[in-house]
Structure formats: structure tokens, C-alpha cells
Structure 1
Amino acid sequence: MCSSPLTILRCMEGSKRRSAWRSAVLLMAVLYISLDLLFRNYDVTRLDRNDDVAGPGRGDDVIPDGVAITTRRLLPQQGTSKIQSEDATQDWKIRLAGPLEAEDPRVIAWVKEEHLHPPSDLPYNLDLGKNVDFTRLQYWQRVHQGILDVLRGKRGGFFLEAGALDGYYQSNTFFLERDLGWTGLLVEPNPVFFESLLTRHRRAWATDLCLGTKPYPVKTEFWVHTGADPWQSLIAASRSGLLKEHLENYQNGGLDSGSVVEVNCVPAISILSALNVTQIDLFSLDIENAEVPVLQWFPFDRVHVEVLVVEHWTSGDPEDSQAFVRLVESKGFSFYRRDNHDYFFLHQHPRWVLARPGDEGAVDNLAPYEPLIGHK
């Protein structure tokens, strides 16, 4: 008891010591919490009920007004490079902003791993079944001969054939491969044709992707034309194409003789980068009226194309054809010759082709094709 003056004095001294002790404990607690927040890297963020909170795990949670939410800012793990960290950030930016870029590493890896088939070393399978012998079709003969005239026996070139069909029927590149040792890339998004193409055992890369009409990868609709005549099913099916472009070209054809499937289209640079291709000696483009947007987005500034052969259907107005020629010439080419609907162009600065506009082979043949009489 603190009843005498002496005991009262002792009690006061004890009270001071206890008060000092409590103050010291409180100070230590404050220091501990401060150091914990600093070194464990916590961030106290105040969120209101109406804040727009997006992110995994939020769901429909409601955050009451004025509640402090402690969120952890994770530091980069040991061994994580700055590039990987930036890539993770960029990944979210891409997802939020829109389509992946044509040369995004994930796009290139996806093309390589899932949509590129390597050249075969098995014997060719050239059976045409019940279809007509295409080598007797005059329109194929004229284009084929025109290509041979321009190439003049060059061996070991690299081609890109878009609209490769089954890899043999009406091919503009098969005989270059077989007889002159060429290789290249065959592009055919028609799933029926592509399955047959792989059975041909071509000595070239093959992809079921279509050359994009956009500067980024997209999934779109493809019209597979079956045709009514089983004896000429490949002739009929060769009219298949991207749905919108097909309907623009064959407005009277309807959709009752085919079906619509989904296909993946990527910019040409996505596939060419996957193969590390920077020069194409022959680019054959026959994709049923989708050729203009493909040419618009083709990387001619990065991939040298020596000879370009394009099937392009135009109206009877000569200006329509001239406009197409001007478009291609703006990409660095010179118009060389035309055979009905097939246009030949040469690079303005050729690396090996000797043909030149105005020489003996530069013809403008608009004569109609002779019909094929009889079947195989």
C-alpha cells in the first residue's frame, strides 16, 4: 500500500517505470510493423464500393466503403529476366488491346508446332481418281508454259504456291519440284484438299493456314465448293475460297453446292518468319478473289519475290485490269504478260530472271480457252 510518504514515493517511481516500459513496447511494435511493411513489400490500397476492379478471382465480390485491402506486389523471382517480365506485362496489354501481332513469338511458335508439315521423302502419289487429266486443260497448259518460259530452266528455286489444292491437280509448282529440284511452301486451307495434299508426298513444306487478308491472325469462314459432277469434282472444288470473297466473285453460285468451315488465316510474314524465308523465286497466287488484300499485306519490303503469277478475275472494263496492274506495280513489280485471267509480274530489280517487259515472251493473250472434250 502507498500510505506513508516513503511508500508513496516508491509507488510513483514504479508507475513511471511501467509507463516507460509500455512506451518502449509500443515504440517497438510500431517499428516492427513499419519494417514489416517496408521489407515484405505490402501496399495498402483503399477501394470504394464503386471502384472498377478487374482481375482473376474477383467475381461478384462487393467491397464495403472505406475498407483497406492489403495487396501483395510480388517481386520478380530469381532468374526471371527483364525481358520475361516485360513480356508478361505485354501479354496483358495484347489481351486487352486486341489481336496478336503477326510476328508475336507465340504466333510464330503456334505456326511452327501446329500448322507446318515438313517436306516428304516418300514416293509421289499422283493418282487423280475419276478426275480429268489436268495436263490436257488448255488454261493450265498456257499458264504452265508461261512459267517455264520465264524461269528458263532455273534449278533449285524456292516457290510459294497459295491455293495449292491437293498438291498435284493443276499445280503450278509440282513439275518445277520434280524436274528441276525446286522446293517451297504449299498453302491450302481447304481441309479436304489439305488432307489429300499430304498424301501426295511433295518435297515442300505445307500448311493448312490461309494467307491473311488482315495484318494479324484471324479465324474466318471458308466456303468448300463440292460441285455436282463427280467426274470433275476437283475442277468444281477449285472454286472454293474465303466466304466473303467467294460470294463477291460468284454471286450467282449460291451456297447450295458446298459447305462452310472455319479456317485460320495469318499474315504471310507469320509463316515465312517461321520458315526463315527471305527470297521467293516464284509466288503463285490463286485464291479465288482474295488476292488483292493478301497482296496488300504481303511483306514485299522484307521478302524478295522474283516472279509473281496471280489469277485475278476482272470485269469487262479495261480500267479494272489496269487498276490491278498499278496496284501490283506499286509493290515493286513490272507487268510482264497476261494469259486470260493470269497475270505475270517480274521484280523491278531482278536477281536472276532474264525475262524483261517488252521482250518476245511478254504477250497479252486474252483468247478464250478451248474446252476439254471427254474424260480421263
Structure 2
Amino acid sequence: MRIKVLTEGPLQADDPELVDYLRKNYLHLPNNLPYNLKEQKPVDLVYTQYKTANPSWIFINSILEDLFPGQLQIQPQIFSPTQSQSLMRFFPSQPQSPLQYFPSQPPSQQRGFFPSHPVTRPGFFPSEAQSEEGSFPSNPQSPEGVFPSPPQTARGFFIEAGALDGEYLSNTLQLELKQKWTGLLIEADQQSYNVLREKNRKTWTSPACLATQIYPHNVILSSFGRQGKNSNWLDRGAARIEKDPVWKGEGPGYKTFQHIQCFPTLTFLLALNVTKVNLFSLDVEGVEMDVLRAFPFDKITVDVWVIEHIKPNENQTIVSRSSQVTEESWKYEDAELVAFMEARNYYFFDMFCHPIPDYVFVNRDSEIFKRLGVPNHLRIRRGLCFHKANWEKDETEFILALHRDKRHYPRLRYKGR
């Protein structure tokens, strides 16, 4: 129980006991049962309405299709035992009505179907099973006593933090289904996580949360919901870490609280023996900057980040000092986030200009960035929303091409063109 007490912080992210504790108690193996998805026949038309009614998902999905085309084979980078030990020694301590969706061209044929990769170990955990450490079952050890690494046949590795039920508005599901990627899904809300496990995703999953510090710690998570037929996954997606639990923040329906264990991102990746992430989707309802500040950019490589982030009010004074663009062009863009990512060698690829915006950043050292052929004078840029359409809440028609930024990737023929 000593390690359980220490997880309340502070404890080094690379502590071997901590890595082992996370692996045994908060990391569940990929599931080898058939998928159990709402988009499968018979299709749940109400649930899957987000594919035509949620403009931000349409926007992000179109970008990921372009950045990760089906024919591009990307192998996840995996720790060798020597690399893992070396790193550990080195490292310091639903909408009311559907939108009318008008793509600029007919949808292209699905690309990138590959033979299924073998799941390394069965990962099914009966719902009635209980862990000694909490309400979620622990992982059984493999016969060899070694926790499996991502299979070499996987064509890419993702992390989705704020995975909800593993299907609704998922930024990673299509990469898994169409291109046979694998990855890690993190969802701290217990009710959402239970449903996520029932989807039988071929990924690792965790009912913990990403730490907002460089050490593990506990947080209070607020969850929202409605009774009966009024309940929906948009409400569940509003769950957030409370910096001030006494504050009565806004949210849909009734509000409940949970105590949740958080682990540093590095601890998750050490537990999985992964050093490179091809796609990191970060949707953590307001603490994304804290997660990013705690992320070991100098040790872990991420090719593409997709980040939902609302510009805080205090940043208004920062953008108002800009002499290059008008205040209106900074309506949704957070200069602090963009500067933070640029300082860590990321290119501001695009963003969905909306009161709840999504940002896409591409690593300048990645093969993806090299394919883009971005001119040198456009590698540092601001004011994206000044040059393209903004999505306002009262709009009912979504034209994808108007919301994609066409200025900076001349070599990329993208879906919205």
C-alpha cells in the first residue's frame, strides 16, 4: 500500500514502482472481441448523427485523413528494455437539429484497409470483476510475466485523452478501423469508461487521467448528465477536472463528483514501452495547458497534436498588443498556446475557428511536415481565423472547404479542396 499512498504525490514519473503500479491497476489490454459500435449495422442513426451534425468532428476527421493517408505506413517506435531503463535513469525526478453538410466534393473511397493485426493478449474484463485498488479490474499478467508492447504490425500509435465512450466524437476510431492503428484511450469518468470497455476497441485503455503536474496526484472530476431520454454523450463529454471544487461551474443537467487518480504522460508511455506517438488527441476540458506544461517534449516524440482549447479571458491582453492583425482575427485563437507549441518545434497547421476551438499542430521534424512543403516564411504564423471562415453557433450550413486553411501546404491535396 506504500505505493498507493505515494501516488497522491509527489513521486517521480519514471519511478519503477509507479510504472508497475499503473500497469497493473490502471492499464487494460486491447480487447480481442468483435467490435460493438453504434456505427455498425444496424446503424444507430441518432447516435451517429455527429458525423454529419458536428462541424468540429468533420473538420478534424478531414485533416487526419489528409495527414495520415491510408497508404502511408507508420510504425510505432517502441522502447527496447535497455532504452527503457536508460530513460528511467536519465529522466529527472448531441445538437438539437442536424446541420446541412455540404462537402466540396463527393467523399472519396475509403482508403487504407489492411488485414487486421493480431491482438497480443486477450483484454476482456468482465464488468462484474473488481480490483482490490478500486472499482476497475486489474490486468492479468501474460504467461511470460511481461506486459506486451504494441504489436509491430500496428501501422501507427495514438493517444486520446478524454476518450468518452470510445466512439462518440472519437478522433482516433477511424484510424483504428481503416488503417489498423492501435493506441491508448484515457477516460477518467467511470460511467463513460465502462461503456468504452464495451466497445471492444483494439487499444489499451485507462480509467485514470493525465496529470497536470510532473508527478502523480489525485483530483476531483465533475461529471454532468440528465435523466432519462434527455441524457446524451455531449453532456458526458463536459466532465472536467475541478481546480476549485467548491466553485459551482456551469454544466448540463445534474453534477456529480469523483476522486480520480492522475499519472504523468511519461508514466503511461513507460508502462507501454512506447517512445513515439503519431497522433495525440487532447480533450481534457480546460486543463490542457497544464497537461502540456507537464509533458516531456524532450523525451517523447509526437508527430501531430489535436487539442481542444478555449482561450482564457486573461489572454485578451496578450492578443490586444499584436500590431500585425486586428483584434477580430484573434477572436478564438490563443496566442499563448500557439507560442508554447511553436517553441517546442511544432507548426501551427490549422484550427477550427469556433467558441470551443480545436488546434492542429505538426512536428517540424516529422515526415508529415516534410511532405507539406511549407515555405520558410509561413512556418511561424498567427491569426488563422482572420483568413478563413469562422463557425458561429447560429449557422446551419457547414461547407468544409471554407473552414480549412489552404495557404500553407501546397503539396497536400486535401479533402476540403
Deviation at 1:371, TM superposition (A): 5.2
How far, CA to CA, are the matches of 1:300 and 1:288 in structure 2?
21
Looking at secondary structure, tell me which structure has more helix per residue.
1
**Matching residue of 2:49:** 133
2:24 is equivalent to residue 113 of structure 1: yes
**TM-fit CA distance, 1:252:** 5.2
Match of 1:77 in 2: none
Give the letter for the 2:358 counterpart.
D
Q: Is the contact between residue 131 and residue 231 of structure 1 (CA under 8 Å) also seen in structure 2? A: no
Matched, 1:355 2:372: yes
Structure 2 partner of 1:322: 335
Preserved CA contact (<8 Å) 1:227 1:237 = no
SS at 2:171 equivalent? coil
Deviation digits for residues 268-304 of structure 1, max 9, x if unmatched? 0011000011111111111101100100011111111
Could you tell me whether the CA contact under 8 Å between 2:238 and 2:251 is conserved in 1?
Answer: no
Following superposition, the deviation at residue 246 of structure 1 comes to 9.0
Contact 2:226/2:252 (<8 A) preserved? no
Counterpart of 1:240 in structure 2 is: 239
* Deviation per residue, 1:14-36 (Å, 9 max, x gap): xxxxxxxxxxxxxxxxxxxxxxx
| Counterpart contact for 1:334–1:357, Cα < 8 Å | no
Question: Contact conserved, 1:285 with 1:309, CA < 8 A, in 2?
Answer: yes
Question: Is it true that 1:147 corresponds to 2:83 in the alignment?
Answer: no
What does the per-residue CA deviation read over 1:107-143, in whole Å, with 9 as the maximum and x for residues that have no partner? Answer: 1011111111111121111138764622122221112
State whether structure 2 residue 332 is matched by structure 1 residue 332.
Answer: no
Pairing partner for 1:302 from 299, 324, 332: 299
SS in 2 for 1:244: coil
Give the CA deviation at 1:255: 8.9
Taking structure 2 as the reference length, the TM-score comes to: 0.60
Please name the residue that 2:81 is paired with.
none
Deviations 1:286-345 (A, max 9, x none): 110110010001111111100111011115847261121001112221111111201111
- Write the letter of the residue equivalent to 1:346: V
What is the Cα deviation at residue 245 of structure 1? 7.7
Does the C-alpha gap of structure 1 residues 255 and 168 become closer, same or farther in structure 2, counting only changes over 3 Å?
closer
Separation in structure 2 between the aligned mates of residue 133 and residue 329 of structure 1, nearest angstrom? 35
Q: Structure 1 247/277 Cα, relative in aligned 2: closer, same or farther at 3 Å?
A: farther
Correspondence list, 1:62-211, <5 A: 99-127=10-38, 131=47, 133-136=49-52, 137-153=54-70, 154-155=72-73, 156-211=155-210
Whichever of the two has the greater Rg, that structure is 1
TM-score by length of 1: 0.67
Q: Which residue of 2 aligns with 1:342?
A: 358
In 1, distance between residues paired with 2:217 and 2:187? Answer: 16
Instruction: Return the offset for 1:145.
Output: 0.9
More RCO (CA 8 Å, sep 6+)? 2
Tell me the amino acid that sits aligned with residue 117 of structure 1: H
How far 1:210 moved relative to its partner? Answer: 0.5
CA distance in 2 between counterparts of 1:146 and 1:315 reads 25
How far apart in 2 are the matches of 1:337 and 1:300? 21
Deviations 1:25-66 (Å, cap 9, x if unpaired)? xxxxxxxxxxxxxxxxxxxxxxxxxxxxxxxxxxxxxxxxxx
- Count of aligned positions: 277
State the one-letter code of the partner of 1:270: T
Local SS of the residue matching 2:223: strand
Distance 1:285 1:232 in 2: 24
Q: Is the 8 A contact 1:269 1:299 kept in 2?
A: yes
1:321 and 1:237, CA in 2 relative to 1: closer, same or farther beyond 3 A?
same
Q: Distance in 1 between matches of 2:173 and 2:253?
A: 32
1:103 partner letter: D
1:335, 1:356 → 2: CA distance? 14
Distance 2:396 2:204 in 1: 33
Amino acid at match of 2:273: N
Structure 1: runs of 5+ lacking an equivalent = 1-90
Q: Identify the range of structure 1 (259-268 vs 137-146) with the bigger mean alpha-carbon deviation.
A: 137-146
Tell me how far 1:150 sits from its aligned partner.
Answer: 2.0
**Structure 1 segments of 4+ aligned residues over 3 angstroms from their partners:** 128-132, 227-232, 245-248, 315-318, 356-359, 362-365, 369-372
Contact 1:220 1:262 in 2 (8 A): yes
How far residue 237 of structure 1 moved from its aligned partner, in angstroms, is 1.2
Identity fraction in percent:
30
CA distance in 1, matches of 2:220, 2:35: 31
Distance 1:288 1:236, change over 3 A: same
Residue of structure 1 equivalent to 2:327: none
**8 Å Cα contact 2:224-2:251 kept in structure 1:** no
Greater shift after overlay, 216-225 or 346-355?
Answer: 346-355
Name the amino acid aligned to 1:218. Answer: H
Deviations 1:240-278 (A, max 9, x none): 110128999xx7516972101000001100110000111
Q: Does 1:263 align with 2:180?
A: no
